[in-house]
């Protein structure tokens, strides 16, 4: 995983001073690294019955789409409020200052379907928690959440595990 970690660009002081932004687009732009990341995200779920991949906007769409293709299963976009054209279910979640909302189409999941959540990074876990709640309200069984990057001191992976959802991450960056 060190080879994958080396493909992730660090951008200091973005989006504000003191933050180190972990830019996964450099990994996505490298064909071998992208393939290795997709394969590694699938590996912990080998043999599991997964019906759909739910990708969280926006980089989760790229990774999740590739994983859904690899597994020959459907893909469900979890989008920011107001981006989907059909009837939606919505889930509000807390931000540092205020709230935000994610949505999915009402017909994206059939009750009982087993879903794996995919995104590029887990930080505080708020968006992933909202996605889990949204999928469960639709009747899905959330089999796990898989990320390229974990920022462990922000507690997001533990927050998701507290919801009885297994979490995997390919690399971790301490001190984000």
Catalytic (active-site) positions: 59, 96
Mind spelling out the 3-state secondary structure of the chain?
Answer: CHHHHHCCEEEECCCCCCCEEEECHHHHCCHHHHHHHHHHHHHHHCCCCCCEEEEECCHHHHHHHHHHHHHCCEEEEEEECCCCCCCEEEEEEEECCEEEEEEEECCCCCCCCEEEEEEEEECCCHHHHHHHHHHHHCCCEEEEEEEEEECHHHCHHHHHHCCCCCEEEEEECCCC
């Amino acid at each position: 995983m060190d080879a994958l970690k080396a493909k992730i660009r660090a951008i200091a002081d973005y989006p504000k001073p003191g933050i180190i932004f972990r830019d996964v687009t450099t990994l996505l732009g490298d064909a071998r690294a992208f393939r290795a990341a997709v394969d590694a995200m699938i590996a912990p779920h080998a043999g599991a019955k997964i019906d759909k991949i739910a990708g969280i906007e926006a980089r989760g769409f790229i990774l999740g789409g590739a994983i859904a293709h690899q597994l020959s299963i459907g893909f469900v976009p979890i989008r920011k409020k107001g981006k989907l054209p059909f009837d939606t279910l919505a889930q509000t979640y807390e931000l540092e200052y205020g709230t935000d909302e994610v949505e999915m189409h009402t017909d994206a999941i059939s009750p009982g379907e087993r879903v794996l959540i995919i995104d590029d990074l887990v930080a505080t876990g708020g968006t992933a928690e909202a996605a889990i709640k949204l999928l469960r309200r639709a009747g899905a069984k959330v089999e796990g959440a898989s990320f390229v990057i974990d920022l462990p001191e922000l507690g997001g992976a533990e927050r998701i595990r507290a919801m009885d959802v297994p979490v995997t991450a390919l690399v971790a960056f301490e001190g984000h």
